[in-house]
Structure 1
Amino acid sequence: MKKLLGKSLIISIFCLFIAPGIHSQDSVPLVDDVYLNFKNQDQHAQRFSYFFGSPNRYKQNSAYDWLDSVNQYLNEAIKDKDSMAIKHYMLMQSQVYYDLGDYDKSLAISSELYDEKDQLELDFKAKLLGLMDSTYSQLALYAEQIDIRKEKKDLGLTEDIAFYDIYSNLGLHRKAMKDYIIEVRKTFPDDDEFSQAKYHNNIGNYLRLDNSPSVALNKYKEAKGHLTVYLNNITVVKSESELISANSLMGVIDGNIGKCYSQLGQYEVAIPFLESSIQQISENSKGKYSSDIVENTLEIANCYLRLENYEKAVEYLSSDLSLTKTAHILKRNRLLSSYYDKTGDYQNSAAYLKRNMRIRDSIDVNESELRTQQLATVMGRDLANTQAMFEEQKKNLELQRLEMTAQDEKINLVFISLVFTLMGFAGLVYAYLKSIKNQRLIAEQKYIIENSLKEKDSLLKEIHHRVKNNLQMVSSLLSLQTKNTRSKAAIVALEEGKSRVKAMALIHQKLYQNDDLSVIEMQGYIESLINSVQSVYKKGGHNINITIDAEGVELDIDRAIPFGLILNELVSNTFKYAFPHDEENGKIYIHIRKQNGQEGFFEYTDNGVGLPDDTDERAQASMGIRLMNRLANQLQTNLNVDKTSEGVRYWFNFK
């Protein structure tokens, strides 16, 4: 202790001579030890500010060391009956428990402070509400989380109440992504590389969780590119906190890329990204519980199991992981069961399976009902928030209208005073009354039209829903017929028919899910169509890199159905014939562009084995080619085919 004090004194004298104008707030010498600097602060307010201002506070000392010190200071404050110091140390204590992953204890302490929120300063409230927001999210208490966000908005700490992350936690990843894009993209400029990285990483998360790993992978790579530019930009001075956040985000992105490769079955490619992620997150979040580290560790074990490297797999499964989430416990038990099964220890394999069955039995009873209740509560709060925003906008518009009306009345009075004739006054009164009458008539007609449109939209959605259900029934009948058919040619024909029926059913599904019943958003439709085709033609389908360039293109149903059937035929042919040896470098590129007032353009290419020499003769006998030509005729165009050096290219223009 004396050596440390001596070293602190030397550093203080050195700083006094070389920088006489620089002094800390309480003249406390700072050394390269966050924990020691924290303890050297004289007052609880300085310790409070230093604690929350230290981005990597567990760099030298563990969170348990910090907890011991905070508990000691808290006991002293209780003994001295210093109410403000007690609150400061309690919030620090709650934060440490959160960093350790003990969310129940963290919430219990935060809730006690929250009961005295009216006596707290705004900065203290901001930290408390932010911590409670994160804790409620970890505990899946979404209704309470929304209440906290509403209070943050009322205090002016945030502009609006966000729901997209909660929707994602409840499994509605596509809706979460749409809301996230609408609410977040407008909040930062195009040259903000760090915000761009976070934005694209989150979109990638929604796509990956929605089982679109190939599309998500592109988003993660885009996020990594933005973050690399940010870190390499030496013209922008970055604080220690900003560098830690950026490096932590880089680790998270690497982990997400690894998970995508694992989903795509490329386990050897996935492992280096997952290992890099664990290292980066650990270095920049020392002492804090990280769900990403747990997920990536379990995913590495899964990859090694798939690669039959059981020694490495069990090494990662045996690591010291704090499994606080039920999903992590279930996954670890499942992987251990698989490991013991593959190594011949069937007794242990069965034991871990039974553990999972006991856990699932304990949560399955109420999980569905609880999830439904949470979803209903969140959607109700979302609707109430939307209505509140609408009412606020309505009030603002009404105030503007009243101001404009008042201004118009003043102008009318001035005009009347200038003209001051009985006929002119009578004419103005008549025109005013007539205007009010017309406005009422217009408002009534508008109300009738809006109700009629709503009713028609509901009927159209119901029609599309029933059509989709009927087409699914047809698809099921074809599946039954396939099981009862021995002829290989008949089975192939039935499977092709089933795939075509699914393509049409998907159109009607997209229509009744959309707010706009007149058009189909082609990017999402094509992604869903390809996933559907992949489920039929599994061989080689998951090794093909598929690029879809149809963002922002919308087509009506009369054109979307021919497009869907043509794409179904092209993708099916690629999966069946283009890559006979299941190459891993297979590529498909789909491009659709439609500009206002101009012709659209469609292009489909793959780098497979290409078309055979007798393609023209086969075209007369192939139902698929004849079907595509007829569908092209429906689009008032001709399907063009180019044989390239690698693969084949189909293209046409359309109106």
Structure 2
Amino acid sequence: MKKLLIICYLAGMALPAMGMAQEFAVPSESLLQTYTEKESPEEKLSYFFETDNRYTYHSAYDWLDRINSDINTAVQQQDSTAMRTYQLIRAQIYYDLGNYKRAASLTQEMYPELESLEKVSLQRLLDLMDENYGKLRQFDKQIEIRERKLQFGISDNISFYDIYSNLGLHRKAMEQYIEEVKKTIDSSDFYHLAVYNNQIGKFLLQEKSSATAMAYFKKAQGYIVVFVNDINQVRTREEIDNASLLKAVIEGNIGKAHILQNEHEEALPYLENSLGVLSTLSSEAFHEEKSINTLALASAYLELENYRKAREYLTADLDTFQPELLIRRNRLLADYYKATGDSSREAIYLKNAMRLQDSINALDAFNQKERLVSIVASEELEKEKEKNKEQELMLEQGREVMEAQDMRINLVFISLVFTLLGFAGLVYAYLKSIKNQRLIAEQKRIIENSLVEKDSLLKEIHHRVKNNLQMVSSLLSLQTKNTRSKAAIEALEEGKTRVKAMALIHQKLYQNDDLSVIEMQGYIESLINSIQSVYRKGGHSINITIDAEGVELDIDRAIPIGLILNELVSNSFKYAFTEASENGKIYIHIQKNTDGGFFEYTDNGVGLPEDTETRAENSMGIRLIKRLVNQLQSNLNIDKTAEGVRFWFNFK
């Protein structure tokens, strides 16, 4: 399967631009003309919603003119059914244009008439209202619509993963999406596998997990290329159009993942190709995706200091009503004018962004208030139901008492029977309680044993990883003895110290009671001792101060920081201090704070040479350090001091 994906992916990337232009040529038949020739409003409704590429060859405004004409005709004929049908189409067009408030207004007018709609129109109306309220972040109304869909049998359950995502709970949204969707996709359905992996990648991208998101986007890209190039299947024009649009969306997401990883040069071809395909094949259906990609391109060109291209994309018509996108464009324009030295315009766009942000915050607060009112109302309704149940119970008990007065003789016998049954029930409940307690105790014992076994297995794994890394270190040492080249020996020694730095992490983990974190003070001390055994020369008098007491980091942050320290300390021993150096000092400081943490390394050696930037490009050590700092979602800062050099960065 992997080989097939790779082959098809390469084949898909090799498609010539001219071939694509021919593939998506405008059809001779006018979609609007075909729509007009339909006899009934129901046929027009079906044709409109079933034509996925309706905006490829005719703009949404062309369709709007046609629909408004149909509505005027229905009003003149006083045909209320046709008016509702055309109004539903008009609401969908406004939604496609991104005018969600207008779409909401039109659908709310139809909402009281749900019972009179036939099932297809009912489903399309509720689906449109569901998506529209999501865009407007009116989640309480969105939940109400989903409850109505459940009530009318349109859906089997109420999903919340998109609502969770809109509320910022992207990880929870992803977990529910995987649980609900994964089981519904066949392993041979490459198109929907591409959709599935792209959606997971979007959740991860919103969580700022760019590296993991990139892996899912690449997988999605592979699936859609396989879908397009499957020679065993004959694809319709509509299927090919949809696949090309999905491929463009995925490429845009890959570009945004590159930007999040500060790889702006790599992001450009993906974003530009995505924007080109979306603009060619779709005029309104993907307007929001086009707007997001346009702003992403502007951001990348700003970072690359290509202000002409940045301005070109910032002044492009976004054609969107989304306030978040308008805020982002205003902030990017402020950054542009700041970079070009126009402070007055920078202030104007910053004020615009702040004003829009205040409006969104106020709307969110209002929506939050509405959700609280809805919850309180639901609770009051539940209390009223409970009160009615209690009253019904009291009436029933009164009737039973009145009937009992006519059966006093039988009451004694019945009471005796129930007393005996009650006693038997108590005995049975007592015996069952003892049995349950024993069962709970046994289950607790099993769970505790499992936890102990799990900890033992984890420690064994870390121990074996440490042993394997030590074996690699030993192999590098053997290779060093059989090598005559001084450069090769130095490279092998550097590799050996890096391997030891990672081995120390796993050694500390299996020696700890808590397997999830590393105590950094002890780890750094052990790391320094290991490095000194390799690089420290006679005549050095170096005082090393480690300030990391009480700092504990997980393995995902401890390993990059350990490798960074390995490179910095090794460089200090090799280059910063000469044989005659006295009172050499190295200071290492790590602390944690609410945003993540802070790392600082200084020495009072000979400092950095004048051509530091040029050497950094050719130095594997500096490039490795920068890569590791990027992995920690930060940027390396280097200060040349009067007495040596200082490296520092913040990490998350």
TM normalised by structure 1 equals 0.57
Query: Of the candidates 54, 75, 78, which is equivalent to residue 78 of structure 1?
Result: 75
Whether 1:57 and 2:83 are equivalent positions in the alignment is no
**CA 1:378–1:190: 2 relative to 1, 3 Å:** farther
**CA 1:375–1:237: 2 relative to 1, 3 Å:** farther
Amino acid paired to 2:166? N
**CA 1:257–1:153: 2 relative to 1, 3 Å:** same
Whether 1:96 and 2:93 are equivalent positions in the alignment is yes
Local SS of the residue matching 2:55: coil
Query: Of the candidates 546, 553, 560, which is equivalent to residue 493 of structure 1?
Result: 546
> Does the 8 A contact of 2:287 with 2:319 survive in 1?
no
Amino acid paired to 1:47? K
Whether 1:310 and 2:307 are equivalent positions in the alignment is yes
Distance in 2 between the 1:532 and 1:150 partners?
48
Query: Of the candidates 176, 186, 189, which is equivalent to residue 189 of structure 1?
Result: 186
Give 1:351 shift: 1.5
Give 1:295 shift: 0.8
> Does the 8 A contact of 1:170 with 1:375 survive in 2?
no
Give 1:364 shift: 3.8
> Does the 8 A contact of 1:317 with 1:332 survive in 2?
yes
Distance in 2 between the 1:531 and 1:77 partners?
70
> Does the 8 A contact of 1:35 with 1:60 survive in 2?
no
Distance in 2 between the 1:493 and 1:359 partners?
47
> Does the 8 A contact of 1:90 with 1:109 survive in 2?
yes
**CA 1:360–1:49: 2 relative to 1, 3 Å:** closer
Aligned to 1:442: 432
Amino acid paired to 2:158? I
Query: Of the candidates 8, 21, 32, which is equivalent to residue 29 of structure 2?
Result: 32
**CA 1:531–1:346: 2 relative to 1, 3 Å:** farther
Whether 1:299 and 2:340 are equivalent positions in the alignment is no
Distance in 1 between the 2:366 and 2:544 partners?
41
Distance in 1 between the 2:130 and 2:433 partners?
43
Local SS of the residue matching 1:327: helix
Give 1:580 shift: 2.0
Percent identity between the two aligned chains: 34
Aligned to 2:605: none
Distance in 1 between the 2:138 and 2:559 partners?
33
Distance in 1 between the 2:375 and 2:171 partners?
16
Distance in 1 between the 2:31 and 2:219 partners?
35
Deviations 1:317-361 (A, max 9, x none): 000112312211111111111111111111111211122223334
> Does the 8 A contact of 2:94 with 2:103 survive in 1?
yes
Aligned to 1:345: 342
Local SS of the residue matching 1:350: helix
Distance in 1 between the 2:369 and 2:214 partners?
31
Distance in 2 between the 1:378 and 1:31 partners?
55
Deviations 1:11-48 (A, max 9, x none): xxxxxxxxxxxxxxxxxxx9521111112223322222
Query: Of the candidates 115, 126, 131, which is equivalent to residue 123 of structure 2?
Result: 126
Distance in 1 between the 2:254 and 2:185 partners?
24
Query: Of the candidates 37, 40, 45, which is equivalent to residue 43 of structure 1?
Result: 40
> Does the 8 A contact of 1:100 with 1:287 survive in 2?
yes
Distance in 1 between the 2:206 and 2:370 partners?
22
Distance in 1 between the 2:154 and 2:545 partners?
61
**CA 1:108–1:367: 2 relative to 1, 3 Å:** closer
Aligned to 1:581: 622
Deviations 1:426-481 (A, max 9, x none): xxxx9xx9899646743687599989x99xx9xxxxxxxxxx9xx9xx99xxxxxx
Distance in 2 between the 1:129 and 1:440 partners?
53
Distance in 2 between the 1:33 and 1:531 partners?
61
Deviations 1:370-408 (A, max 9, x none): 559759989999xxxxxxxxxxxxxxxxxxxxxxxxxxx
Amino acid paired to 2:155? T
Local SS of the residue matching 1:265: coil
1:237-252 pair list within 5 angstroms: 237-252=234-249
Deviations 1:272-315 (A, max 9, x none): 11111112223332233521111110010010000000000000
Unaligned runs of 5+ residues in structure 2 are 1-26, 379-419, 448-513, 522-541, 569-595, 602-618, 632-652
Give 1:52 shift: 1.3
1:541-580 pair list within 5 angstroms: 579-580=620-621
Query: Of the candidates 217, 221, 224, which is equivalent to residue 227 of structure 1?
Result: 224
> Does the 8 A contact of 2:92 with 2:103 survive in 1?
yes
1:113-262 pair list within 5 angstroms: 113-262=110-259
Amino acid paired to 1:64? Y
The farther-off stretch of 69-78 and 284-293 is 284-293
The farther-off stretch of 174-183 and 265-274 is 174-183
- Number of matched pairs: 422
Local SS of the residue matching 1:580: helix
1:433-472 pair list within 5 angstroms: 438=428, 441-442=431-432, 446=436
Aligned to 2:271: 274
Give 1:152 shift: 1.9
Unaligned runs of 5+ residues in structure 1 are 1-29, 382-429, 458-467, 476-488, 504-525, 541-567, 591-655
Whether 1:325 and 2:322 are equivalent positions in the alignment is yes
TM normalised by structure 2 equals 0.57
**CA 1:69–1:444: 2 relative to 1, 3 Å:** farther
Structure whose CA Rg is larger: 2
**CA 1:375–1:231: 2 relative to 1, 3 Å:** farther
Local SS of the residue matching 1:493: strand
> Does the 8 A contact of 2:138 with 2:367 survive in 1?
no
